[in-house]
Amino acid sequence: MKRILLLLLGGLLLALGSVQAAPVTASIAGERGLIFRLSLDGQSVSHGARPQVYLDQLRPGYHWADFFIPVGRGRGVNYRTQIFLADGFETNFVLLARPGSPPVLRTISTVPLAPPVVAYPPAPVPYPGTYPAPSYPAYPAPVYQLAPAEVDNLLQAIQRRPFDDARMAIMRDALRDSFIESQDARRLVKSLSFDENRIETAKYLYSRVADRHNFYQVYDALVFPSSIREVQEYVQSVR
């Protein structure tokens, strides 16, 4: 009996430990657009060489990070280091590889993980004289448009993240079941640093704007004429 109680207590402690150790996130960016490949604890996570990597669903604590930094003609520099991810925080790093010095990974910030922005749609109102069938859902939830204050909160959450990958992930989470106005879409696109990410986000936001006739306002957030043409061609293809 005593042994059974000890086993149950051990299982309970393990369960509590797994509950407390909620997944954390991390982002790594190469200084001045430096591209790299990354493996974490022996698993490739970067999907090729790129200047930014955003990681989620990570275990808090220590991890081994292996970098490969291309230098041309198929050659590259290997760099291995151990990183620490604090429980309840997003940890942001920058990878430095300067001439004459070995690569180094530096922690630039730790940001508390805030709950995601959630849009709660109002309860649907049935038409007079109509009633849902007992065995079917009542009515589909109506489309919910974020209020100006909610968009401001979303922008603040985005601006607390130093890298585009994390900002884009927050946008998609917040707008999965919601819509915004084109002028707010322009503000979201403009919050990104790289034009290629602005293009990708503008394409995504076309499906999330409530006033598509005003979508031209989003083009103001794109830097190059070629970027505007690419988004315009995408919009024409999905209309």
Domain ranges of the chain: 22-112, 144-238
- Structure pTM? 0.48
Q: How many CB atoms lie within 10 A of CB 132?
A: 11
Decide: residue 171, CB within 10 A, 0-12 exposed, 13-18 middle, 19+ buried: buried
Question: Which is nearest to 150 in space by CA: 190, 113, 187, 204?
Answer: 187
pLDDT in tens, 53-77: 888 889 999 999 999 999 888 899 9
pLDDT in tens, 143-198: 578 888 888 989 998 888 888 888 998 898 888 878 899 999 999 999 998 989 99
CATH of domain 22-112: 2.60.40
pLDDT in tens, 117-144: 444 455 455 555 444 444 444 433 335 7
Q: Do 53 and 39 meet the contact criterion of CB atoms below 8 Å apart? A: no
Q: Which residue has the higher pLDDT, 7 or 63?
A: 63
pLDDT in tens, 74-119: 899 999 999 999 888 888 888 999 888 899 999 887 777 755 444 4
Instruction: Name 98's Cβ contacts closer than 8 Å, sequence gap at least 6.
Output: 31
Residue type, 7: L
User: Given this model, what pLDDT does residue 140 score?
Assistant: 38
